Structure 1
Amino acid sequence: MIEFDNVTKVYDDGTVAIEDVSFEVEAGTTTVLVGPSGCGKTTSMKLVNRLEEPTDGTVYFDGTDVTDLDKIELRRDVGYVIQEIGLFDHMTVGENIATVPELKGWDEERVDARVDELLELMDLPPAQYRDQYPRELSGGQRQRVGVARALAADPDVLLMDEPFGALDPITRENLQDEFLDIQEEINTTILFVTHSIDEALKMGDKIAIFDIGEVVQYDTPQEILRNPKSDFVRDFIGADRTLKQLQVTQVETVMREESPDQHAELADWRSDDGVTPVSPTDSTQVALSRIIGSGTDAVPVVDDGRAVGVVTEEDIRRERPVTTGGA
């Protein structure tokens, strides 16, 4: 869907923002660009919707060089969410969300239906929020409206530049969780910029780690944690790689597909208040916490009310990343 092919960006003052950057974003996935301030991650993202132009190399959008596409039409086809949100204060919530569909010529009935659909998706009931103004909303609610506006015209690609960075930690974590649920429904290709490795590990299917204008590792969160390719990556991840590995590994990747009743300590788990099941999509950190809390060495895995397996402490510990270099 999006491809960077040996892309370099040099500003007029000679500053090299990025140099020979290459990676590919698969359709329907979330790729997170992460790194310290000034490393080139936001510049890279802006090349996709031509807020910046490459000096050398090519950025492809669905197989087409973005410089061959009309800027205005491209930006209407690519959703864009920024930390400052950028809602129009003189417009209602509904009018803000309707902006791009109206520019694209959608009829009024279709626009209204899309506004209501997105407000419901963002857990903002239309009857309550459609006619409110941005100043009447909390920071988290405004950010939800910003995401809804970016999704309004059904974009194939969504660019998100530090979208939750200005929020308090609790609101930020809640919105991250909600957005992961939303992404399962919308299946949009997302390029997500953050300076937080924890946010990158949580949100990304793939992560591009930047260091002073270059991508030093591009891989899945799990592989980056298992095998950091340089001291910079290892230091950027931090010393708690084992904990991070638990956070990004889902139970379904380590569980045993067998009946909980086959385990003596779980035989009466349905009536035992001390054993709380986990779901296949829970993290192994959640599973390990419940194993320790239950005083057993395993907990049931339940999906839609049906037991689908068990996960043991042994299964979880076997998946810990290889630690080298003191990490």
Structure 2
Amino acid sequence: MTHHPTDTADTAVASEPETMIEFDDVTKIYSDQTVAVEEISFAVERGTTTVFVGPSGCGKTTTMTLVNRMQDPTEGTVYYDGTDVQELDKVDLRRDIGYVIQEIGLFDHMSVGENIATVPELKGWDRSRIDDRVDELLELMDLPPAQYRDQYPTELSGGQQQRVGVARALAADPDVILMDEPFGALDPITREELQNEFLEIQDRIDTTILFVTHDINEALKMGDKIAIFDVGELVQYGTPQEILHDPANDFVEEFIGADRTLKELQITPVRDVMQQDVEAEHVADGEPTDQSPSVAETSTATTAPLADGTGDHYVTPTDTVDIALSRMIEADATSLPVVRDDDVVGAITEADIRAHQSDGGA
């Protein structure tokens, strides 16, 4: 999976997944008799990111907007935390769900802090709680509050505006966030930066996210699960690895495109492949270890820069495997330490990556 609610270094046993959103035989037909989606059924687990992907006009945005009742189904039921959304007040529901769109929709006459505070104010939070939440979210978005809180949207870059849009969606600590092409209008470099930052943020929050995109590479990168749509039909629903390894039909195979092996390397996080049973202090000191002799052989060359912040001959658990391979080549090494918060928490080797690939990404 691309995102994991808890790090694999944690030893707690995960409980059974809990469904947050469920589509039960849902059909939406517009007044002109256009069938937007037809008889779709799937469940979204709490705390995960599910990406809706497909060509324009396939029904992915319609499906997402059925959750916050911007549209209502013609047939079938959409459940929100176990309750039929038709039984929920539209205004209250929308205030409980964060919403991020491509156009961002910030209020230009309001400061950054005021934009982020919009929903908490509507929900009646007290001033000190709102101020604390605004500062907390600006820090999370790498926008220092003292510098950005009182600025206006027109003073910000596109990437900074989108960060504020995400912060506003998170402001009232919603259980669910809907994101409609949130990074689509950004340049490729900024888009990749925000994708990476959002994946790190999602590792620290317990929010269920529905994310719409037309870009299969973004879907593979961002999603725990992917729902592939084609002209109102849900063609396939599964993890990125399941879709890469077993496309449901020719449409999915063609939509994914070539180089499926490379795509898998680009979406597989190091934490899915790394060894955690190495003795981290020995790896860091370059001492031999029975668990991973190849790490010890390269660790002297690769961990010294960690102390003074120079060099990049290591990876983090959230880096992808293609990054690990690239850094191995740069370091002329067959393994790298895996570092989290300046601590060595494991190692990844070429052999680990080959074994993962031969196991079908399991």
Q: Would you call these one fold, judging by a TM-score over 0.5?
A: yes
Give the counterpart of 2:322 among 285, 304, 314: 285
Gaps of 5+ in 1: none
Give the counterpart of 2:49 among 15, 30, 43: 30
Q: Quick check: 1:275–1:294 contact (8 Å CA) kept in 2?
A: no
Distance in 1 between the 2:299 and 2:183 partners?
Answer: 39
Deviations 1:61-104 (A, max 9, x none): 00111011111111111111100011111111111111111111
Give the structure 2 partner of residue 272 of structure 1. 301
Assess, with a 3 A threshold, how the Cα gap between structure 1 residues 17 and 290 changes in structure 2: closer, same or farther.
Answer: same
- TM-score, structure 1 normalization: 0.92
Give the structure 1 partner of residue 217 of structure 2. 198
Q: Quick check: 2:112–2:149 contact (8 Å CA) kept in 1?
A: yes
DSSP 3-state at the match of 1:113: helix
Give the structure 1 partner of residue 106 of structure 2. 87
- TM-score, structure 2 normalization: 0.84
Query: Counterparts of 1:220-259 in structure 2 under 5 Å?
Result: 220-256=239-275, 257-258=277-278
Mean alpha-carbon deviation: is it higher for 234-243 or for 295-304?
295-304
Assess, with a 3 A threshold, how the Cα gap between structure 1 residues 308 and 75 changes in structure 2: closer, same or farther.
Answer: closer
Distance in 1 between the 2:342 and 2:176 partners?
Answer: 35
Assess, with a 3 A threshold, how the Cα gap between structure 1 residues 241 and 103 changes in structure 2: closer, same or farther.
Answer: same
Assess, with a 3 A threshold, how the Cα gap between structure 1 residues 295 and 92 changes in structure 2: closer, same or farther.
Answer: closer
Mean alpha-carbon deviation: is it higher for 46-55 or for 120-129?
120-129
Give the counterpart of 1:184 among 189, 203, 223: 203
Distance in 1 between the 2:132 and 2:350 partners?
Answer: 48
Distance in 2 between the 1:321 and 1:265 partners?
Answer: 20
Gaps of 5+ in 2: 1-19, 303-310
Distance in 1 between the 2:65 and 2:191 partners?
Answer: 23
Assess, with a 3 A threshold, how the Cα gap between structure 1 residues 306 and 117 changes in structure 2: closer, same or farther.
Answer: closer
Letter matched to residue 23 of structure 1: F
Assess, with a 3 A threshold, how the Cα gap between structure 1 residues 266 and 79 changes in structure 2: closer, same or farther.
Answer: closer
DSSP 3-state at the match of 1:39: coil
Mean alpha-carbon deviation: is it higher for 231-240 or for 313-322?
313-322
Distance in 1 between the 2:356 and 2:68 partners?
Answer: 39
Assess, with a 3 A threshold, how the Cα gap between structure 1 residues 151 and 254 changes in structure 2: closer, same or farther.
Answer: closer
Distance in 1 between the 2:358 and 2:72 partners?
Answer: 39
Mean alpha-carbon deviation: is it higher for 109-118 or for 153-162?
109-118
Mean alpha-carbon deviation: is it higher for 125-134 or for 64-73?
125-134
Q: Measure how far apart 1:45 and its partner are.
A: 0.4
Q: Quick check: 2:299–2:336 contact (8 Å CA) kept in 1?
A: no
Assess, with a 3 A threshold, how the Cα gap between structure 1 residues 106 and 275 changes in structure 2: closer, same or farther.
Answer: closer
Assess, with a 3 A threshold, how the Cα gap between structure 1 residues 125 and 306 changes in structure 2: closer, same or farther.
Answer: closer
Assess, with a 3 A threshold, how the Cα gap between structure 1 residues 281 and 146 changes in structure 2: closer, same or farther.
Answer: closer
Give the structure 2 partner of residue 295 of structure 1. 332
Q: Quick check: 1:225–1:321 contact (8 Å CA) kept in 2?
A: no
Letter matched to residue 117 of structure 1: E
Q: Quick check: 2:100–2:180 contact (8 Å CA) kept in 1?
A: yes
Mean alpha-carbon deviation: is it higher for 48-57 or for 124-133?
124-133
Assess, with a 3 A threshold, how the Cα gap between structure 1 residues 126 and 312 changes in structure 2: closer, same or farther.
Answer: closer
Give the counterpart of 1:61 among 80, 84, 97: 80
Assess, with a 3 A threshold, how the Cα gap between structure 1 residues 118 and 302 changes in structure 2: closer, same or farther.
Answer: closer
Q: Measure how far apart 1:265 and its partner are.
A: 5.4
Deviations 1:96-150 (A, max 9, x none): 1111111111122222221121111111122211111111111111111111111
Deviations 1:208-236 (A, max 9, x none): 11111111111111111111121111111
Assess, with a 3 A threshold, how the Cα gap between structure 1 residues 267 and 188 changes in structure 2: closer, same or farther.
Answer: closer
DSSP 3-state at the match of 1:164: coil
Deviations 1:35-58 (A, max 9, x none): 111000000000000111100000
Letter matched to residue 326 of structure 2: S
Identity of matched residues, %: 70
Distance in 2 between the 1:72 and 1:306 partners?
Answer: 46
Q: Quick check: 2:200–2:318 contact (8 Å CA) kept in 1?
A: no
The number of residue pairs the alignment matches comes to 323
User: Are 1:134 and 2:171 matched, yes or no?
Assistant: no
Letter matched to residue 209 of structure 1: I
Mean alpha-carbon deviation: is it higher for 108-117 or for 210-219?
108-117
Q: Measure how far apart 1:192 and its partner are.
A: 0.5
DSSP 3-state at the match of 1:48: coil
Letter matched to residue 324 of structure 2: A
Letter matched to residue 207 of structure 1: I
Q: Measure how far apart 1:250 and its partner are.
A: 2.2
Assess, with a 3 A threshold, how the Cα gap between structure 1 residues 304 and 18 changes in structure 2: closer, same or farther.
Answer: same
